[in-house]
Amino acid sequence: MRPLVILGSGGLGRQIIGLAQDVEQQASTYKLLGFLDDGVDEPDVWGVPVLGGDHQLAELDARYVIGVGLPTARRRLADLAASYGREPATLVHSAAWIGLHTSVGAGSLIFETAHVVAGAQVGRHVMMEVNTFAGHDSRIGDHVLLAGGASVGARAVIGDDVMLGIGCIVLGDVVVGDRAVVGAGAVVTKDVPADSVVVGIPAKETRLRRGRITA
């Protein structure tokens, strides 16, 4: 089995422990070594060793996954790991559903009860939490977080570095632009501009992420 480290030991990072253990038991692909986290001084988190800071990855001959949710942080850590020549692991829980003619990019994490339906394309370093859904022929970009219960409809396109909040729904054929945020429980019925934040039912833009108030 290949050694595996988790970059980040916060809430999302701790979620990955169970996912990694499932993959280890079911597929015997990876063996979890521990966490790398610049902000932790403790020797372990939930019994899993903290091996040092992020830059320790330069010394470890291990695959990695990213255990933080913020897409910009996910991209930064992926770039850091690539600069050290490290390859990401892709973890798919045995209780996830992966349909025919789908693809899941390197470094992505597919948790239990997540569904990637026929023809869906999931990018690199995507985190699909419990009960998330990627509809048929949908496309999800890189470094995207689908929080628990988030659903993406058929043929929808989700750009890079997007955050989809808990329980939100993106209807079919909708395009969500790069770096956008969809709030928890929102229902997105029309295209979402890049760098925007939308909330509500139906979802409406509340502000640009660079600070301009729009509604």
Residues belonging to the active site = 136
Dist. CA 66–CA 80, nearest whole Å: 11
Output the CA torsion 149→194→215→200 (10° steps).
-10
Neighbours of 3 (CB within 10 A): 15
Backbone angles phi, psi at 9, to 5 degrees: -120, 20
Q: Which residue has the tokens 């990401």?
A: 88
Output the CA torsion 56→58→62→65 (10° steps).
70
Question: Distance between alpha carbon 180 and the CA centroid of its chain, in Å?
Answer: 14
